[in-house]
Amino acid sequence: MKVRSAAPVFAALLAAALAALSCGKREGTSPLFVLEELEAASAVKDSLDRLARLEIFIRNNRSHIYRGVAYERVFETMAERLGDAGGAMRFLRESLSDEEDPAMRGALQLLKFRYLFGTDRAAALAFADTLAASERSPRLFMMMGYYCMDPSVDPARATALFLRAADLSRGDHERSQAYAMAGAMLEERGERGEAKRYLSMAAGNPEADRALGEILWAEGKREEAIDLLVACVARMPGTRAAVKLDSLHALVRSGTRDLDERIMAVRVGDEGLLPEASFVDLEGRRHDLATLRGTKLVIYALSPT
């Protein structure tokens, strides 16, 4: 994307020179160097200079995951700071033409959806419909689903978006979250049979366990409901008071004092091998969990995307 403006050419040349110098220092530097480079570009106060620096960052880091953050900051600078919505949309189109990675394409399409959602909701919803056949990012469809959940927007479309996310998901945890959200939406719409089906498919997801547990309690299936609510609280301790687990457990098992033991048994239980998945480290390198099978592994996630 080329920024056309009356800003002095010197500013752009200076930014390019600084970027070139920084690239020359990359070898042997800290893994956080790329992040520092991104933050330096983002901190430039003049909007046009900020754009130039961010675009240089993107060109220099075509394969790094942080380019997604740079895309977002370029779009925000153009659409919000400069009020150039047309230029921001052209930037997205040109960036999409260079991207094949489903996750990165999804991030770009989400920028457009979010902008449209704030300016022309009907256009945003129509745009969401056009993405079903072309995009493969589960996160894109999950995020659009969240925007549509409110009754004043389109809960039915939200459900469809969550189910599309489930279809595209590669991992069990990602898929169960999508099914949990679809089930919750169906329950709110009074479609209890379908809701129970999808919530059951998300077994082990604490939100799904909570929703299904509350449905079963209302149906009088109290033992099954308590088992699900215990599983929910074991994985999300902060929900214990919200689901009124202590009171409900006392109604079903009056005289027993084993609730804490039941929660702990689920919390420390062995759920088996990690799912087949991959992740990206701070240097933008992708790691496949399958290659680490049989080793002890600690994964520390910072603002996962």
pLDDT tens column, 222-242: 999 999 999 999 999 899 999
Question: So what's the pLDDT on residue 292?
Answer: 82
Separation between Cα atoms, residue 30 and residue 53, nearest integer Å? 21
Model confidence at 293: pLDDT above 60: yes
Domain ends where: 71, 98, 125? 98
pTM across the whole model: 0.77
Give the residue among 215, 217, 156, 218 at the shortest CA–CA distance from 182. Answer: 156
pLDDT tens string 73-95 = 999 999 999 999 999 999 999 99
More confidently predicted of 65 and 72: 72
Mean pLDDT of 121-141: 96
Q: What's the mean per-residue pLDDT of the chain?
A: 86
Residue 248 lies in a domain: yes
Question: So what's the pLDDT on residue 254?
Answer: 82
Q: How many domains does the chain have?
A: 2
Question: So what's the pLDDT on residue 45?
Answer: 96
Domain that holds residue 39: 1-98
Whether the Cβ atoms of residue 234 and residue 266 lie closer than 8 Å to each other: yes
Residue 226 lies in a domain: yes
More confidently predicted of 9 and 169: 169
Domain ends where: 98, 122, 157? 98
Domain ends where: 64, 98, 132? 98
Residue 121 lies in a domain: no
Quickly list DSSP for 130-153.
HTTTT---HHHHHHHHHHH-STTT
Model confidence at 278: pLDDT above 50: yes
Enumerate the H helices of the chain as residue ranges: 9-24, 33-42, 47-60, 67-76, 85-98, 102-119, 121-130, 138-148, 155-168, 172-188, 192-201, 206-218, 222-235, 245-252, 259-267
Separation between Cα atoms, residue 196 and residue 257, nearest integer Å? 30
